[in-house]
Structure 1
Amino acid sequence: MEPTFLSEAMHPGHPKWDQAVTRRDPLYARQGDLRSEFARDYNRTLHCTAYRRLKHKTQVFYATQNDHVCTRIEHVNHVTAVARTIAETLGLNAELTSAIAIGHDLGHAPFGHAGERLLSRIAETELGSRFRHQNNSLHFVDRIETLEAPGGVHYNLNLTYAVRDGVVCHCGQMGDRPVYPRDTALPLEQIPGDTIVEPFTWEGAVVKVADRVAALGRDIEDAIRLKILTRDELKYLRAVAQRFGESTFRHINNSLLMQVFINDLCRSSSPETGLRFSSANVELMSELTEFNYRHIHFHERLAYFVEYAELIVNTIFKRLKGTYHPDKSLSNVNQLREVCPHLADTFYDWLIKYGHPSLRRTISLKYMADRLYNPEDEDDYTRAILDYISGMTDSFAIKAFEEIVSF
């Protein structure tokens, strides 16, 4: 297949190149480093703690005890694999594509999209704002996550504009509308979460498409493994598999769907027509998306857990908000250690790391992350709690909740 996007790839000489490789601050370079700017971004994300926590965050099934059910980290790795295959086939920059893909979901809350809705509800009530995982992903790669630099001091990730842009612009349904990159560089922190903004690069557009492709079949595989689908629903999936002449498949599976959609996208797309699927596969994607939402995402067994997740998130928020005082919030968090040692220890460290530099001196001078919160200001304190909860894994949130309610 001809790499029809070679002239559009984000490489030196591209009209958007200078903007694409811009960083918020200069980034140190080790002598003899062989990596490109985007390869460095990929590695910086791979090494950060938010990426590690994805292995215990919900994709669809909450706090799963089944080792073979997809968690958020597996989804991210699937998106990275799909996006890289598409980028390499089309002739785009695969390193940039991979760097966007590996970081696109770092800001997801515990308990998946249910947790996202819960935090958004709290943010609206307390701050008059919304919580969106894509904006929180940008917030985490920009201001929360840190890595140790030479000299032992920890700084923010400081990723390139093109990667940060792809992270915050990865959401939005395609339907039969082709995806093109936008022309102008926008201030990314000001992109509203409830508005669909196309990415700045073709590589970011590829990740946006890959996010859809990677999830459809994996959700179905997990639903089959967990036995939540009826006979009629399984019969429907067998019929879908047979559309592709796959009579040996008992049900549709992830690898089959990935192959179908990746091949179709690469054959149907061009710089002139945008990233697109054939009309038959647009219909198939829409059909399977509706199936997944109706029979999997909103299955009654998941609905039971949403109520449990709501209790967990609200309880943690209320317990931590109860420690706020204009003059002695840190002292109150210290006192909380007597009954909730794990929760209090980690939240105290969070306030120190992202608080005023004078607070950091009480523990360490190694953190040079952005100052985000003033613990004396109630709105700042509320934001600190929401950021802290959003970084939790499902298992940590459950542990914190049990610590709160145990005697």
Structure 2
Amino acid sequence: MTARYASDPSQTRGRLVAEEESAFRSPFQRDRDRIIHSSAFRRLKHKTQVFVEHEGDYFRTRLTHSIEVAQVARTVSGALGLNGELTEAVALAHDLGHTPFGHAGEDTLDALMAPYGGFDHNAQALRIVTTLERHYAEFDGLNLTWETLEGIAKHNGPVAGPLPYALAEYNARHDLELHTHANAEAQVAALSDDIAYNNHDLHDGLRAGLFDDDEIAALPIVGACYQEVDRLYPGLDASRRRHEALRRVFGVMVGDVIEHSRAELARAAPQSAAEVRHLGRAVIRFSPGLWGDLQQIRKFLFARMYRAPSVNAMREEVHGVVSDLFPFYLDQPHYLPQEWRDDVARAADKTALARLVSDYIAGMTDRFALEQHGRLLGGPGGPGERGRD
């Protein structure tokens, strides 16, 4: 049953460029489908989540992470009576703006872009779906509905203070009401992101040998799940034991956000999606107790995984790749592909050119960035380097 506070596709605020709607698909379903068919979505398969793509076939990439987020989001959305198509659209689009090499690449590009307005992956995702995807005859971007765009822009909450240039630029011509919270569907997508990465980063860290089962069994939530598996399946082999425990961790997080959000929604009693935006607080939330447990898990992952010596060594390598490519293209933009050169010719100043270079580098996959660095600058991935596939 659809809740009163769910986003109603028949009441969408529409698209920036008016289109005749489909006879077979709702506006939010079309948004989701356009995201799945976009070039940026396909490139996520070769973009880092934590481990750079060539480090192993079984580690998550931005694509598999986004699919996992969408799966969690559909479950939570359905349990709360929300619109599943809008929830899935935001979940699948939330990481489209990530650079190659994950957060290491983003931090480097943000520092390089500091004189030109900085770089933010959420703002870049909006730029991709409103400008950089250029496949349709009548418009740039994907021409998504207002509700999907606001979800991409502010699924983590209202956007205050100096806006990233990509967000400010678009919002000036299409007001996304950045001072308010997003629809409940986008809030679900945001917490589903937390659920997915907290779970799969434990799994990937174990696979990489950065820590072992006994160490994570000392963490809140995780320890109780291992104990339950040992009680139900004594003597289970290590691989199955691990999988059974971590799937229970997943279930604990999903169950908590559903039950606590139900209570929050009942307390707030919003009568429409518009009321959700103006409550002044998020209504899709973890319980305080579980949120505290997640902070301990995150602290462990930060120390033992995100800043592990092997991960730090790779961070240094990819920092060098992005740090070299940016000034190279900025000083010699004729090395950009032909389809980018018309935009280069129209660039009014160095800031506009820097933003084009930033767009180009941000769109690269890990392997392409390494290949370009090797070809143009003779660094990792260049002639004589061992193949990285």
TM over 0.5: yes
Structure 1 residue 78 displacement after superposition: 0.7
Q: Give the structure 1 partner of residue 144 of structure 2.
A: 159
String of CA shifts for 1:44-88, please: whole Å, max 9, x gaps: 111110000000001111233311110000110011110111111
> In angstroms, what is the RMSD of aligned CA positions?
2.8
Residue identity matched to 1:320: Y
Kept after mapping to 1: 8 A contact 2:206/2:213: no
Match of 1:60 among 27, 50, 53: 50
Structure 1 residue 170 displacement after superposition: 2.6
Structure 1 residue 252 displacement after superposition: 7.4
Matches within 5 A, 1:269-288: 269-270=261-262, 271=265, 272=267, 274-288=283-297
| Partner SS state of residue 189, structure 2 | helix
Tell me, yes or no, if structure 1 residue 146 matches structure 2 residue 128. no
Q: Size of the alignment, in residue pairs? A: 339
Kept after mapping to 2: 8 A contact 1:27/1:158: no
Distance 2:244 2:317 in 1: 31
Structure 2 unaligned regions, length at least 5: 159-167, 173-177, 234-240, 269-282, 384-389
Q: Give the structure 1 partner of residue 280 of structure 2.
A: none
Q: Give the structure 2 partner of residue 233 of structure 1.
A: 215
| Partner SS state of residue 106, structure 1 | coil
Distance 2:212 2:35 in 1: 40
Residue identity matched to 1:293: F
Kept after mapping to 1: 8 A contact 2:66/2:95: yes
Would the alpha carbon gap of residues 85 and 188 (structure 1) be closer, same or farther in structure 2, given more than 3 Å must change? farther
Distance 1:401 1:10 in 2: 45
Q: Give the structure 2 partner of residue 397 of structure 1.
A: 369
Q: Give the structure 1 partner of residue 319 of structure 2.
A: 310
Kept after mapping to 1: 8 A contact 2:98/2:362: yes
Structure 1 residue 253 displacement after superposition: 5.2
Which sits farther off after the overlay, 238-247 or 312-321?
238-247
| Partner SS state of residue 53, structure 2 | coil
Match of 2:188 among 206, 211, 217: 206
Bigger helix fraction? 2
| Partner SS state of residue 4, structure 2 | helix
TM-score (norm 2): 0.79
Kept after mapping to 1: 8 A contact 2:21/2:27: no
Match of 1:255 among 247, 262, 274: 247
Match of 1:34 among 19, 24, 28: 24
TM-score (norm 1): 0.76
Distance 1:164 1:188 in 2: 10
Matches within 5 A, 1:3-402: 6-11=3-8, 17-19=11-13, 22-29=14-21, 33-125=23-115, 127=116, 129-149=117-137, 155-171=140-156, 189=171, 199-229=181-211, 233-236=215-218, 240-242=222-224, 245-247=228-230, 248=233, 249-250=241-242, 254-270=246-262, 271=265, 272=267, 274-323=283-332, 333=334, 344=335, 347-352=337-342, 354=343, 374-375=346-347, 377-402=349-374
| Partner SS state of residue 51, structure 1 | helix
Structure 1 residue 7 displacement after superposition: 1.1
Structure 1 residue 239 displacement after superposition: 8.1
Would the alpha carbon gap of residues 238 and 64 (structure 1) be closer, same or farther in structure 2, given more than 3 Å must change? farther
